[in-house]
């Protein structure tokens, strides 16, 4: 909690999940941890298994001073672009915290406009316990939403790949075309709408 202590006052960690997928919303979480009641096993969500993240979620929620998860929809991603939609989801998460934080530690190097002072931390999910906790909540919440999306839009394999690049996803776009939850400005989706083969090589943020 050294980064948090250096800021002073109530500090939240903020992180997102789902900037790169071809489908679904982007999620963000904000967490204020209690240094006297720290969840055990906090780490960057990408370094944990799905089972480990799911086990940590209720412990983080139980021990945190405050936490919130928020989203920006596919329509908002289309309107704002993925960077600003991510900032919108983060702002919604921070605004939902009670008590309100004085500082936010945000993973990455982009200082989104939030309702408190912002400090960016590159690779923050590995350096800040608060950011790590936020990364876990954001990831688990979005994965759970993608499981429901798999039921709503069968055939795309959302339950397995969560909207990211995967061969089953490529094949589904070829045969079924995009569903309403696909990000229409992503190159693979756009090519599928034009009747062309989607990109196979990248799930990067290649929207215009």
- How confident is the model at residue 192, as a pLDDT? 78
Q: What is the pTM of this model?
A: 0.91
Q: What is the pLDDT of residues 57-102, one digit of tens each?
A: 999 999 999 999 999 999 999 999 999 999 999 999 999 999 999 9
User: What's the mean pLDDT in 142-154?
Assistant: 98
Sorted by where each begins, the domain ranges of the chain are 2-147, 150-193
Please provide residue 90's backbone torsions phi and psi, each rounded to the nearest 5 degrees. Answer: -65, -45
Percent of the chain predicted with pLDDT > 70: 95
Question: What is the C-alpha separation between 128 and 138, in angstroms, rounded?
Answer: 15
Is 70 exceeded by the pLDDT of residue 206?
Answer: no
3-state secondary structure (DSSP) of residue 192: helix
In this structure, are residues 65 and 88 in contact, taking their beta carbons and an 8 Å threshold?
A: no
- How confident is the model at residue 42, as a pLDDT? 86
**The CATH classification of domain 2-147, taken from the options 3.30.420.10, 3.30.930.10, 3.40.1350.10, 3.40.640.10:** 3.30.420.10
Which tokens go with 114? Answer: 């939030």
Count CA within 13 A, CB hemisphere, residue 89. Answer: 32
User: What's the mean pLDDT in 120-129?
Assistant: 92
Dihedral in degrees, nearest 10, Cα atoms 47, 184, 96, 127? 20
- How confident is the model at residue 202, as a pLDDT? 45
Who wins on pLDDT, 56 or 46?
A: 56
Q: What is the DSSP letter of 108?
A: S
Query: Whole-number mean pLDDT of the chain?
Result: 90
Q: What is the pLDDT of residues 156-168, one digit of tens each?
A: 999 999 999 888 9
Count CA within 13 A, CB hemisphere, residue 97. Answer: 30
């Amino acid at each position: 909690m050294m980064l948090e202590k250096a800021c002073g006052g109530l500090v939240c960690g903020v992180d997102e999940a789902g900037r790169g997928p071809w489908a679904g919303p982007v999620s963000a979480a904000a967490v204020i941890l209690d240094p006297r009641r720290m969840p055990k096993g906090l780490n960057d969500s990408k370094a944990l298994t799905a089972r480990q993240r799911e086990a940590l979620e209720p412990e983080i929620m139980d021990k945190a001073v405050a936490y919130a998860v928020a989203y920006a929809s596919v329509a908002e991603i289309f309107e704002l672009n993925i960077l600003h939609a991510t900032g919108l989801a983060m702002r919604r998460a921070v605004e939902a915290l009670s008590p309100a934080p004085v500082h936010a530690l945000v993973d990455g190097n982009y200082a989104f406009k939030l309702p408190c002072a912002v400090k960016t931390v590159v690779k923050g999910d590995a350096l800040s316990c608060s950011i790590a906790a936020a990364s876990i909540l954001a990831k688990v919440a979005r994965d759970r939403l993608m499981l429901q999306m798999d039921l709503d839009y069968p055939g795309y394999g959302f339950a397995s790949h969560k909207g990211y690049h995967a061969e089953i996803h490529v094949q589904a776009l070829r045969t079924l075309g995009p569903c309403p939850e696909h990000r229409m400005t992503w190159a693979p989706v756009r090519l599928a709408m034009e009747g062309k083969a989607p990109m196979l090589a990248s799930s990067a943020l290649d929207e215009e």
